[in-house]
Amino acid sequence: MMAITFRTWVRAELEAVWAVVLDSVENPQRYMSDVEAVRVLERLQGGITKELTIRGMEYAPGCFDFFVFERGTLKKIKSTENDNVCASGVFDSFVFESSIIREVTVRGVPYRERIRISNKERKIHRELIDHPACSGKIIVKAVPCSVQNPMAPVDLQFFLELKSMKGAKEETEEMTGEIKKEQQRLKEKAEELEASALRVL
């Protein structure tokens, strides 16, 4: 599993940055140069996802019945077959208002993504469903560096957790590079929108 974080400062208001991020959900071809076609397969209502990430579970035997958390962090696993088994892990939940499943075609190869959108958190989860080179998720988040100052830069964050398919390491690395370019295009577009709005004023 490859975990990478990309961060860049965007000199635009939060609403402008978020508008561009939402536009990239419906129109990824504007921000990803290799996208040849895109279509929305399904639109779904919101909900909540819960995810438990446990490191070292492959070494923990038995069937686990109870999970003990402290402030969202997994502290202990209890089993009816074994005594307490300690493991590090994180429990995370994500409330989203809407989601879509889209099909993206890159260089003649289509794949699907499930995208969950939280306008409240200014955050989207992109889950790769049947990508030919890798599996995993991409989380995009827009974070204001100052709540009091609306003109302060916005931290545009991309969190990648990708696992290469067998023999597809180079393709995964290439995809990571394209995501970095996508982030840069989002930044440029948001700053263009901000500049246009200021000229109108």
Cα 165 off chain centre by: 19
Token pair belonging to 174: 């290439």
Average pLDDT over the chain reads 82
Predicted TM-score (pTM) of the model is 0.77
> Each residue of 62-104: pLDDT tens digit?
444 455 556 555 555 554 444 444 444 455 667 889 999 999 9
pLDDT of residue 196: 86
**How far is CA 170 from each of CA 75, 126, 133, 165, 173, rounded to the nearest angstrom?**
37, 21, 9, 10, 5
Distance CA 170, CA 1 (A): 14
Contacts of residue 105, defined as CB under 8 A and 6 or more positions apart, other chains included, come to: 35, 36, 37, 38
Beta bridge partners of 58: none
Q: Give me the domain span that covers residue 36.
A: 2-200
Is the four-CA dihedral 150, 151, 153, 154 of positive or negative sign? positive
Say which CATH number the domain at 16 has.
3.30.530.20
Domain count of the fold of the chain:
1
Nearest of 119, 71, 73 to residue 95 by alpha carbon = 119
pLDDT for the residue numbered 27: 95
pLDDT digits (tens, 9 = 90+) for 20-67: 999 999 999 999 989 999 999 999 887 776 665 555 443 344 444 455
**What pLDDT band is residue 7 in, cutting at 50, 70 and 90?**
very high
Q: Give the mean pLDDT of 134-143.
A: 94
